[in-house]
Amino acid sequence: MLPSLRPATARRWGLLALAMLLSLVFAVPVLWMFMTSLKTDQDLFTIPVRLWPAHGLHFGAYADIWQTGGFSQYFLNSTLVSSATTAISVALAVLAGLGFARYRLRGGSYLLLSVLLSQLFPLVLLVPPFYLVLRQLGLLDRLQGLIIVYISFALPYSVWMLTGYFRSIPIDLEEAAMIDGTTRLGAYVRVTLPLAAPGIAATIIYCFILAWNEFMFAATFIDTPALRTLPVGLEAFIDQYGTQWNRLMAGSMVTTLPVVVLFVLLQRYLVAGLTAGALKG
């Protein structure tokens, strides 16, 4: 007879099986998207539907979107907008988070609550006022205006995220550093910010994804084709004569890649933060 598994071992294997099943569920749409991007126009509408192209793998869709779809310009625009939004939002959120977490401000709790309440409005209601403001400032149909709009969405939640994370870091560590001779600013830079790296990494990912994937404001405030971002550029593959599924899926794969790369680069900080939280608990 086979020896019975220990409860802890059985639970571990059960969680592993569940994780593999969930990974498979989430991976199937991505795999289908990737295989569709490798099909020719003839393979797209074969019956019965096939995952593997009948005429073999075809990378022409990727070449088409870069050469004829204006995709390179859209990619550059999204990179500029998302990078600027992320850098400015995270820098301001770090300063605001330190202020709320380390200083007693008169009415600070109400101010922090008002920051959160600003996130409760449906975004579609903010399109007309933003449109009027950008037109008055001369920033309509400009990437600078789009960056300002995205910062106004990313900053409130980022402040909340980092304020909570800074509050979880013991202030005793900063005081010990100041006793050793460093200044308060030096204690923040040398002690607090390194310990807050997981929270900052999560904030970076949040801000970047928000700006990278946003469609409604980019489609409303940008009219010049050369200034379009990737989500708006993908819409060009859907026209009145049909949908270019292979090119649309190829563009979607290229659009997804930077987010995956960013997550891979920052995942060690996120894992470190989760591990630290588990150890503290």
Whether the pLDDT of residue 274 is over 90: the answer is no
CATH of domain 32-40+55-280: 1.10.3720.10
pLDDT at site 279: 38
pTM, 2 dp: 0.82
CA distances from 30 to 26, 207, 235, 253 (A): 7, 23, 19, 8
DSSP state of 235: G
What's the CA gap between 63 and 243, in Å, rounded? 18
SS3 category, 243: strand
What digits encode the pLDDT tens for the residues 11-54?
888 888 888 888 888 888 888 888 888 888 777 777 777 777 77
pLDDT in tens, 85-113: 999 999 999 999 998 888 887 777 777 77
How many CB atoms within 10 Å of residue 279? 7
- Domains of the chain, by residue range, sit at 32-40+55-280
Q: 191-247 pLDDT, tens per residue?
A: 888 888 888 988 999 899 999 999 999 999 999 988 999 999 888 888 767 788 888
Average pLDDT over residues 58-66: 83
Mean pLDDT along residues 64-88 = 89
What is the predicted pLDDT for the residue at 210? Answer: 92
